[in-house]
Structure 1
């Protein structure tokens, strides 16, 4: 197992007392479509974690913005204006990859919905709740893990709200 995927499973065990079974693929799973093809599930059952930067939301870090996470169905497109409205921010944009790595601890393409270095306010796409099992990134662009969507939302301390286009 990839070192970062092993780190993810260890963090999940330590933080949430859950055992994660990581699926690793030779072909990348960095997009929802690629992950769905690899797993053999609907693209909508892929739980993509998108880190968003909010402007005007009152961040105290001195960076001028706040990071939030959105766990969305791979079949949906995140509506950044809806994210800004939900968090009472003036604007929302995709977060800078370097800042994601520095703050969240994972690189884009493999950002898991759990086990971040910093706690981020998180929203959860209700489309995912239609599935018995969803698949999230497990810390690398070629690993995923299966989980019940309600359990995932609870572990991520996520608010279930539709912020998709």
Structure 2
């Protein structure tokens, strides 16, 4: 693990290593805080970007790992999960829940594990990319590794 990585990214790298996931964190020259920016920087399909979106649901954070190709349908997802509702977390709630800024939230490296949902559409890609704890860092992994890493429930989110 490189000491040149930002502190938040080093925590993510340690989580990846502990989970025996080989994907290395890549530092991008420009911020890739949206799926479109990340896809362009990496030269991949926007659908292969695993957006880490934090919502608030039933008084707790809910991490939704969604394909960059679409938006989360919070009403339908709440019904599928049997929750009373799902709403976008505030920037302060995101930072408190993950320790990471919006635009750089990784699927791991949080102060404590988060209840996670993984978009079934990400399974269509042999390699997906997720944020590495900052808007300038990303890492590759497989769909199966993402599900194992997060302990997430696989479902349709769009």
Fold shared, TM-score > 0.5 on shorter chain: yes
Q: Does 1:53 align with 2:56?
A: yes
3-state DSSP of counterpart to 2:26:
strand
Name the counterpart of 2:10.
Answer: 6
Name the counterpart of 2:155.
Answer: 161
How many angstroms does 1:18 deviate by?
A: 3.0
Q: Does 1:135 align with 2:141?
A: no
3-state DSSP of counterpart to 2:86:
strand
Q: What is the aligned-residue RMSD (CA, Å)?
A: 1.4
2:107 alignment partner, one of 94, 110, 113 = 113
Q: Does structure 1 retain, via aligned residues, the 8 Å contact 2:49–2:68?
A: yes
> How many residue pairs are counted as aligned between the two chains?
154
Per-residue Cα deviation, 1:88-122 (whole angstroms, up to 9, x for no partner): 22221101111111122211111001222122211
Residue ranges of structure 2 left out of the alignment (5+ in a row)? none
d(CA) in 2 for partners of 1:78, 1:120: 18
1:152 alignment partner, one of 138, 146, 153 = 146
d(CA) in 1 for partners of 2:147, 2:125: 13
Residue ranges of structure 1 left out of the alignment (5+ in a row)? 58-64
Q: Does structure 1 retain, via aligned residues, the 8 Å contact 2:21–2:141?
A: no
Per-residue Cα deviation, 1:26-74 (whole angstroms, up to 9, x for no partner): 11111000000001000000000111111xx3xxxxxxx1211110000
